[in-house]
Amino acid sequence: MLEKKGATTGSAVDASYGWVAEWEKHEATWIAWPHNAKTWLGKFDNIPNVTEKMVRTLAEVEKVHVLGGTPDATLQARHFLSGATNVTIHETDTNDCWIRDFGPTFLLSDDRKKLGATRWRFNAWGGKYPHEKDATASAKICEMLSCEGKLRKDGELELVSFGSSLVGEGGGMETDGQGTLMTTSSCLLASTRNFHWTRERIEAELKRMLGIRKVLWVDGGALAGDDTDSHIDQLARFIRPGLVVAAVSYSNNDSNAAKLNLQREHLIEMTDAMGRPLDIIPLMTPPPRLIQGKRVPESYCNFYIANEIVIMPTFGFRETDDLAAGIMQDLMPERRVVCIDASDFIWGLGAFHCATQQQPAIHS
């Protein structure tokens, strides 16, 4: 059933579209300009500066689309990003900046010549926060891209989007681009998201809407202070097919240690969609840090892979900052690891992967 031109509620896999890995070439990155000071509770003043650095860094290697947020926030974004090339600011309102979770999951057709997207239902991590604007942003992004495609003579960019009835967030899903998806039961099976959905029904929907073949339920891990019900992008990430970096605690005395060790044990026992065992590389978290008496969920797994670079969050603890950056540089020698201080940004309970969404490049 067609909702509008370029949008459908049908199956992405039946239409020959599928989810590709983050490390494949990007056409652009989408972000939402931060403007909700309540997200950072007294730490907001530096957030626009950090976001500007992230956007300008990304704009050196690919296009960046910015949802401006409120009218005042859009003016602020234009001020901070004045003179930046490769950056387009859209007057699209949002509740918050976590576009990884409320934005579309972009797909490519099997021949890699057409862009698609899956739009999940978004309810702010189980109804935790206001989200009426974020819940519609995914459809607005798809509409913008579809309109842009109609203006092109070749028409290749016109986007087909697929609407899912599953409540989910992009940060709760991770792929190797070869048919494997990692997620967590605590997120997708939460009663506040998908009440009455079974694991089997969720797996079927993920396969139908993303073209993946195997779902790995990476359970056991958790970070104190996290409000996402254990998003996978804070816990374990694919670096390439068969290779996963996984968060481990700085100390066995850390309250996160036992859960992260259990998660690693589960990962070691898993195989991907191709039948390969996973090679697990530990990525040590920094020591526990409290802001205003509350633990923040710091994890180096919240990096973002862009064209030619990896944007890596650091947290002001030199030993683990340097160790994580060195591991990532060794694992991805074809890219330059760019470290950006996220020690204030993380007070919003997310980092740079949470604040970005990649749009893959179509093949000419």
Whether the Cβ atoms of residue 58 and residue 52 lie closer than 8 Å to each other: no
| Catalytic hit among 97, 142, 187, 354 | 354
Phi (first) and psi of residue 39, to 5 degrees: -65, -30
Say how far apart CA 114 and CA 158 lie, in whole Å: 8
Whether the Cβ atoms of residue 308 and residue 235 lie closer than 8 Å to each other: no
In residues, how long is the chain? 364
Q: Which residue has the tokens 């992008």?
A: 233
Return the structure tokens found at 149: 């495609």
Return the structure tokens found at 304: 């973002």
Whether the Cβ atoms of residue 72 and residue 50 lie closer than 8 Å to each other: no
Say how far apart CA 355 and CA 364 lie, in whole Å: 29
Whether the Cβ atoms of residue 31 and residue 355 lie closer than 8 Å to each other: yes
Say how far apart CA 280 and CA 239 lie, in whole Å: 10
Beta bridge partners of 32: 67
Phi (first) and psi of residue 218, to 5 degrees: -90, 85
**Is 147 noted as a catalytic residue in this protein?**
no
Closest C-alpha among 256, 245, 251, 267 to residue 327: 245
Count helices and strands in the chain by DSSP H and E runs: 9, 21
Return the structure tokens found at 1: 């059933």
Q: Which residues are catalytic?
A: 354
